[in-house]
Amino acid sequence: MKRMMTTFAALSFFGAVAAAPALADAPAKAAGNGGHTYPSIEKTSADAPKQHKMSPEFMEQVKKLPPEFVQQFKKMTAKHTRYSEDATARQVMAELLSDVQCTTAGLMVENGEMAADCAIRASRHRWPKGHLLAYVKLEQINADSLAALPKINGQVEGGLERVAEFALKKDFVSAGAEMGKVMEGCATCHSLFRFGKGESPYIMD
């Protein structure tokens, strides 16, 4: 029975890879500024992840993830409501890099709206084809290897939201300091996880 519940939790977690609900059921709201919806984060991708057949070894690793970790990860990623049917994780990271550079440029010229736009878009980046974990090394799909993600996520995506709030208040010194912490979080993540250039080897269709 315990095994069955763990399997169900894992399948629910990966709505993009099995017949299960999507990870998010509510539209994302921009941080600060009274929940203002920025034009630059209007949806340009699917509203729900496309379901894919995944390799048996990948699904076996997913099923081993503890239910409490699955719930934590779902909560952490619920704001990502743009799902690509084509982009790989490496391509999504390129989009994220572009938005981060745009944020930095906005801060440098003290354009708060530009910086906030780009920071919010970066924090709610597109979700890659299949699932983000479909591009992680198989041996890293376990609770121990992924344990650092919540802290990193808070530092990077949470930090970008704080950058947006500071930028809209025209507090560019604080925004710049927070941006430094975002970069530190990115570097930490890159030291742990590196995505391949091509398609996920675990997506079978």
In which band, very low, low, confident or very high, does the pLDDT at 40 lie, cut at 50, 70 and 90? very low
Decide if 197 is inside a domain: no
Q: Considering the domain boundaries, does residue 149 fall inside one?
A: yes
* Dist CA 38 CA 32 (whole Å): 11
In a domain, 199, yes or no: no
Separation CA 67–CA 180 (nearest Å): 34
- Domain holding 154, by residue range, is 2-192
Model confidence over 118-160: pLDDT tens digits? Answer: 999 999 999 999 888 899 999 999 999 999 999 999 999 999 9
Instruction: Kindly indicate the confidence band of residue 82, based on its pLDDT and cuts at 50, 70 and 90.
Output: confident
Residue 55 in domain: yes
- Asked if residue 102 belongs to a domain, the reply is yes
Q: What is the pTM of this model?
A: 0.77
Number of domains into which the chain is organized: 1
Domain membership flag for residue 81 = yes
Q: CA 108, CA 122: separation in Å to the nearest integer? A: 17
Q: Which of 6, 31, 98, 53 is nearest to 204 (CA)?
A: 53
Give a yes or no: residue 77 inside a domain.
Answer: yes
User: Is residue 47 in some structural domain?
Assistant: yes
Residue in the structure block whose two tokens are 């399997």:
7
